[in-house]
A and B are shown apart, each in its own frame.
Chain A
Amino acid sequence: MTYVIDVPQVFDERSFDQFAAGFAGAEADARVLVDAHATEWASPAGLIGLLCAGQALLARAGVKPLLTVPAEREVAHYWARAGFFAHAADLFEIHGSVPRVKPNPERNVLLEVTPVTGADDVHAVVGKIQERAAAILTSELGLDPKATMGFGMALSEACQNIVEHAGTGGWVAVQTYSWRALGRRVVVIAVADAGVGFRHTLEATQGKRFGDRWGDATALEAALIQGVSRFRDPGRGQGLAGIRRYLDRWHGKISIRSGTARIALVPAWERDEPLRDGLPPFPGAQVQLVVPAVEREAQ
């Protein structure tokens, strides 16, 4: 019997837990269908979250899960232009018509869904963003040119999180779109993997310190708020701190979901919970950075 995981109609960070609950309900040896036929929109975090699910399901069962393509032609085309299907084909048995698209990307897709497994990939991703995105970030989002270099730094550090800690490959995608609650455009970096997650990564060096409180939520707090690392070298653990400094300066937001918890540093323009625990379990870590356009763009 096939177990169905429904992909939410609007699949983004907010609806991710709904998807994770479906994922968590699948038995280890079940034939799984990831059903996206009714999905009307997916954020970069949603798209690479799907790939993480596919990677984890394939690793667990040894057979590709099924994936249905969104029924809406425009949605499927958008996913194709965002580079999703190119990687999904390695992880899923795809059902439905996958659009063939020209390589020329959408203007709002600053970086197509891109695999990250090593330092070379991080160099390639940063290089591509600096060449393609600098003008868009400055002219369309009104970001200070100084913010562009910091953007590359934040992107690099987020991707290195996969290389250094995940124990497996992951994906990154960067897009700009309108953020409804803000009423302005934003640029979104989504980075995710289906690896071991923050709790496992930090457990050997931090678990004892937290005692009974140790878990996914405390691991996320330790990493993002306290800047701890699994290494005893005081120079380590600076990546997330650097990302925080960058986002503070440009009024951005970071959220990280790992295991059963999610942490967010929430700027004044956004409503979100700083820390949630007891969420449906999902493998690895999902990181999202959001940098808003300057206010004058909305005027």
Chain B
Amino acid sequence: MITEIDLREVLSRSVGAPLSDLVTRSTGAKVRSSIEAQLSERPAGAAVVLDFSSVRVLDCSCADEVVAKLVLGRGVAPGAGQWFVIRGLGEGHAEEIDHVLRRRRLALVAEERDGRSRLLGEVEPAAAAAWRVVVDLGNAGAEEVATTLRLAPAEARQALQAAVAAGVVRQADDRYVPLTAA
């Protein structure tokens, strides 16, 4: 099940005014709390799409408070066990989010407006390569990743597990799937 969250709508609801600029750390904290409250009613293991399409300005402090802390808390915060994907980013948004994630050694998947995906933040190179194979094939097992990347099977499994740990791929039995795959 995929939950889509319109950041502009959450922002306006959180601050009680129709705003479209995600700025300031205190605003970010309100937005994150609102999202966490919404996700606490959702089952664990669901993918959550954070939609930035209607957000105009995003500053570093707010990006850290909303995105990085949501990703950081995916194992412990209310709504834990969620997988986060970002959609509708402008180039400037992507840059800010990439930096705040790197600062905390985190990563997530961003879906581009043309439908392609890319990773933001910090992911081990082998895990990033494994993620790309999974995305390109729609889903993959360790053997396919090993063949495509010319890795030993154990190395491929390790790379896939690192991608799962980074929160950019899901594991379904012995297969690995993109976060927003049905």
Can you list, as one digit per residue, whether each of B154-179 has a CB less than 8 Å from chain A (1) or not (0)? 00000000000000000000000000
Stretch at the interface among B55-63, B113-121, B124-132, B142-150: B55-63
Known contacts A152-B21, A153-B92: A160-B57 contact under CB 8 Å: no
The CA-CA distance from A130 to B23 in the complex, in Å, is: 13
B19 touches A242 (CB 8 A): no
Q: Contact between B19 and A146 (Cβ–Cβ < 8 Å)?
A: no
* Residue B48 CB within 8 A of the other chain: no
Q: A126 to B99, Cβ gap below 8 A? A: no
Do A119 and B96 have beta carbons less than 8 Å apart?
no
Inter-chain contact A245/B95, CB cutoff 8 Å: yes
Residues 16-60 of A, flagged 1 when their CB comes within 8 A of B and 0 if not, give 000000000000000000000000000000000000000000000
Quote the shortest CB–CB distance from B22 to chain A (angstroms). 9
B104 contacts the other chain (CB 8 A): yes
- Whether A238 contacts B19 in the complex (CB less than 8 A), given A123-B24, A149-B56, A160-B25, comes out as no
Do most interface residues of chain A lie in helix, strand or loop, or is the interface mixed?
helix
Closest-by-CB residue of B relative to A243 is B60
Contact of B92 among A123, A126, A130, A150 (CB under 8 A): A150
A183 interface hit (Cβ, 8 Å): no
Select the residue from A163, A236, A238, A245 with max chain B CB neighbours within 10 A.
A238
Is B69 in contact with A156, judged by CB distance below 8 angstroms? Answer: no
Contacts of B26 in A (CB 8 A): 119
Q: Is the CB of A238 within 8 A of B99?
A: yes
Closest to A163 in B: B24
Report the Cα distance A157→B21, complex, angstroms.
13
B21-A242 in contact (CB<8A): no
> B60's contact among A119, A127, A164, A239, by CB below 8 Å, is which?
A239
Chain A proximity mask over B21-47: 1 for CB below 8 Å, otherwise 0? 101111100000000000000000000
Contacts of A238 in B (CB 8 A): 60-61, 64, 99-100, 103
Contact between A123 and B25, CB atoms less than 8 A apart = no
CB distance from B97 to the nearest CB of A (A): 11
Q: Give A234 to B72 CA distance when docked, in angstroms.
A: 12
- The contact size tier of chain B is 20 to 34
Query: Of all chain A residues, which has the CB nearest B72?
Result: A235
Beta-carbon contact of A149 and B92 below 8 Å: yes
B99: chain A residues within 8 A (beta carbon): 238, 241-242, 245
- B56 close to A157 (CB less than 8 A): no
Check B23 against A149 for contact (C-beta < 8 Å): no
Central interface residue in A153, A156, A239, by most chain B CB within 10 Å: A153
Q: Which of B71-124 contact A (CB under 8 A)?
A: 90-93, 95-96, 99-100, 103-104
Residue B68, interface by CB 8 Å: yes
Is there contact, CB below 8 Å, between A123 and B61?
A: no
B106 to chain A: closest residue by CB: A235
Chain B residues positioned under 8 Å from A163 (CB to CB): 24
Q: Is the CB of B27 within 8 A of A235?
A: no
In the complex, A291 has a CB within 8 A of chain B: no
Chain A hits for B103, CB < 8 A: 234-235, 238
Contacts of A242 in B (CB 8 A): 59-60, 96, 99
Bound CA span A104–B16, Å: 29
Is A156 within 8 A of B92, CB to CB?
no
23 contacts between A and B (CB under 8 A): A123-B17, A123-B19, A126-B23, A130-B21, A146-B91, A149-B92, A152-B57, A153-B57, A153-B60, A153-B92, A156-B21, A156-B61, A160-B23, A163-B24, A164-B25, A234-B103, A235-B65, A235-B104, A236-B64, A238-B99, A238-B103, A239-B61, A242-B96
Residues of A bordering B, CB below 8 Å = 119, 122-123, 126-127, 130, 146, 149-150, 152-153, 156-157, 160, 163-164, 234-236, 238-239, 241-242, 245
Closest 6 CB pairs of A and B: A152-B57, A242-B60, A149-B92, A156-B23, A119-B24, A238-B60
Give the interface of B toward A (CB within 8 A).
15, 17, 19, 21, 23-27, 56-61, 64-65, 68-69, 90-93, 95-96, 99-100, 103-104
